[in-house]
Amino acid sequence: MRILIADDEPVSLRMLQKTLRRAGYEVTAVRDGRAAIEELCCSDGPRLALLDWMMPEFDGPAVCREVRRRRGERHVHLVLLTSRSSKQDVVIGLESGADDYLIKPFDPDELKARLHTGLRILQLEDNLVEVREAMLYKATHDALTSLLNRGTIVELLAHELSRTRREDGCTIAVLGDLDHFKLVNDTHGHLVGDEVLREVARRLLSSVRSYDFVGRYGGEEFLLVLNNCDAKKSLKRAEEIRTAVCGSPIVTSQGPLVIAASIGAIASRGRIPETVEDFLCEVDRALYTAKSAGRNCCRIAGAEV
């Protein structure tokens, strides 16, 4: 575990370094508060720190306040070292953002015990962050395909349409539906159907840019939000996506399956409806037009193709 020690007294600094290295810590040592702040506020900076109260540039409490302000949610466990022992000083140190307070001269074993407590706190925080991120992922992604779920992709589309209005840009929405997908489930079983959906999701993701969005809109329907696009290339992009999905058979546990898809698309340039629901209704009509035209093709909303 990396630890930062900040002390402008050379002898004290060397003693701390020796003690901590023997305890297995990777030590970064600085001699003033400004250097401590810069080290601790780096994205990959130490998350455990021993700070002397009295230092040049910034004192220990000032370092605590600045680290708390700049690091945000990413917690750094800060321990103040000082010869000040009054309750008022303890309160000032803790209210500045310090997690612990150790009075000089301190026992090395007590120091190591307090640092172990800090490590447990950091581990607990990391566990909570992992749980929170996992819950957020589950709330925004489809469990089968790992694509964005319907609520999230629609929300992102609404956000992009709003941005398009402000910046006079163009967003293309692409709604695709796998043709006769029920036959796959009825003939080969739902597990094979799931294999197909997962592979379609993978192909869709590989067919767009890193800043585009792909979501599962319904059972076998997928919605793509393409940002900063040329409206004149809507049909070309839709056809590229259809080809990416249907251009080769999908290998499943029951053998390769040929999949077809109908696609509707709409560009926001010059035709941004009042609501995202109206926008989706238009692209849905384009998809229905593709189905009526014989399936396995693309149609653009409002276009006579």
Written as six digits, the tokens of 248 are 């080769």
| CA–CA separation, 272 and 264 (whole Å) | 16
Q: Which of 66, 195, 220, 282 is catalytic?
A: 220
Which residue's structure tokens are 């929170």?
A: 132
Q: What share of the chain is helix, strand, coil (3-state, %, to 5)?
A: 50, 20, 30
220 is catalytic: yes
Residue type, 116: H
77: helix, strand or coil: strand
C-alpha closest to that of 201 among 267, 143, 256, 255 = 143
147: helix, strand or coil: coil
- Within 10 angstroms of residue 254's Cβ, the number of other Cβ atoms is 13
Q: Which residues are catalytic?
A: 220
